[in-house]
């Protein structure tokens, strides 16, 4: 059982480039989340989804887009990378929402130069 899998683990982007962070879970969870982790700032919610075809903004959605075409996948898209998006990104899933245990991926460390 792989749980939540994120790819890539590391990436360096140039300013203005775009990329997609992949997230897949094999637990048939409806709820999925994207967080960014900045030093001293904790985890900030970027976007979340309560099921296939349904997404909503979190605290810091600007500069990002998501889609949820299947239950398993929840990719995060950066269209025009900026240095402020340098961070560690975590994807998570849960069975029944924010009052149940969240399972996290191993993270993607992104640097924008």
* Footprint on this chain of another protein (rule: CB under 8 A): 31, 33, 35, 40-45, 48, 50, 56, 58, 90, 92, 94, 97-102, 104-107
Q: Which CB, 85 or 108, lies closer to another protein?
A: 108
CA atoms within 13 A on the CB side of 27: 21
At closest approach, how far in Å is the CB of 106 from another protein? 5
Peptide bond into 61 cis (omega under 30): no
Q: Which CB, 28 or 99, lies closer to another protein?
A: 99
Distance CA 48, CA 76 (A): 10
Q: Which CB, 16 or 97, lies closer to another protein?
A: 97
Q: Which two tokens stand for residue 40?
A: 């001293």
Q: Which CB, 15 or 41, lies closer to another protein?
A: 41
Provide the 3-class DSSP secondary structure of residue 84: helix
At closest approach, how far in Å is the CB of 75 from another protein? 19
Contacts 24+ apart (CB under 8 A), 59-65: 60/36, 64/34
């Amino acid at each position: 059982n792989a749980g939540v899998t994120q790819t890539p683990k590391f990436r360096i982007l140039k300013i203005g480039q775009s990329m997609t962070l992949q997230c897949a879970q094999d637990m048939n969870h409806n709820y999925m989340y994207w967080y960014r982790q900045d030093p001293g700032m904790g985890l900030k919610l970027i976007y979340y989804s309560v099921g296939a075809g349904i997404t909503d903004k979190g605290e810091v959605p600007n500069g990002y887009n998501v889609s949820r075409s299947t239950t398993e996948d929840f990719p995060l898209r950066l269209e025009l990378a900026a240095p402020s998006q340098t961070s560690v990104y975590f994807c998570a899933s849960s069975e029944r929402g924010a009052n149940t245990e969240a399972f996290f991926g191993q993270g993607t460390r992104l640097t924008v130069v």
